[in-house]
Amino acid sequence: MREAPPAAPSLSIFFPAYNDAPSLPALLEKTFSVAAKLTPDFEVIVVNDGSRDDTAQVLARLQQRYGPRLRVVTHPKNMGYGAALRSGFAAAAKELVFYTDGDGQYDPGELPKLMELMEPDVGLVNGYKIERHDPWHRVVIGRMYNAFARFLFRIRIRDIDCDYRLIRRSLLEQIRLNSTSGTICVELVRKLELSPYRVLEVPVHHYPRRHGRSQFFRVRSLARTLWELVRLYYRLVIRPAIKGDNPKLA
């Protein structure tokens, strides 16, 4: 008698969104199609981080189309990328949690590649960009930021800046995230790498931005990010070394 194949794990998929109204309909259509082929038990969440465009109205129409499978978390004002991710993680209720950005620069159709690698001893499957399709100055700044952050925090994955991640929710429940800006990616990966679970990587495509503009690559945002990296370094590296704190909970 043949044994029944193991049931597919349940899956939460979420997108942080800020002024992403034009990209969300196609993004969610592709997401629902892909998710339904991976598992019968899934949910899709969009965190509307105080968008000033028609994101709220677009999401209301999409909720009528997709029903209770689509949930929306709304911030009354823009609270930052880190805060949007923290809200998404808090809202996710399934065994595995996948997130990527709501601007459409990553393809949810590549999620099956990550799911195939999520074995019982794996805590994080992280994408890395095959080629970055952004203006040249963003590519240069992104490479510098990635190299600096990897060196400073001794992070092993090659692409901290690739927000295409599949994470075991039980592992997320064991760590505490504090960042409200883009530095949350450094904090998240650093704390996940400190766990006993394996971290794997897979190449994914990156596409040109068709709508809106990045909130990260501005002088004020970059200066704030640099300052928050310094604070994060103290909290995750220096203070635990001095006080013996658990860096996953710092």
- Encode the chain (250 residues) as per-residue pLDDT tens digits: 455 456 789 999 999 999 999 999 999 999 999 999 999 999 999 999 999 999 999 999 999 999 999 999 999 999 999 999 999 999 999 999 999 999 999 999 999 999 999 999 999 999 999 988 777 777 888 888 889 899 999 999 999 989 999 999 999 999 999 998 889 999 999 999 999 999 999 999 999 887 655 555 454 666 777 888 888 988 888 887 787 667 776 7
Secondary structure (DSSP) of 107-124: -GGGHHHHHHH--TTEEE
Backbone angles phi, psi at 190, to 5 degrees: -55, -45
Instruction: Please name which of 156, 149, 147 lies closest in space to residue 179, comparing C-alpha atoms.
Output: 149
pLDDT at 1: 47
| CA neighbor of 19 nearest in space, from 219, 225, 216, 214 | 214
Rounded Cα distance between 179 and 228, Å, is 8
The whole-number pLDDT of residue 18 equals: 96
Q: Please choose, from the candidates 173, 29, 14, 26, the residue with its C-alpha nearest in 3D space to the C-alpha of residue 88.
A: 14
Instruction: Quickly name the fold that domain 11-243 has.
Output: Spore Coat Polysaccharide Biosynthesis Protein SpsA; Chain A (3.90.550)
The Cα 28–Cα 40 span in angstroms is: 17
Among the listed residues 32, 166, 183, 55, the one whose alpha carbon sits nearest the alpha carbon of residue 109: 32
> How far is the C-alpha of 70 from the C-alpha of 13, rounded, in Å?
10
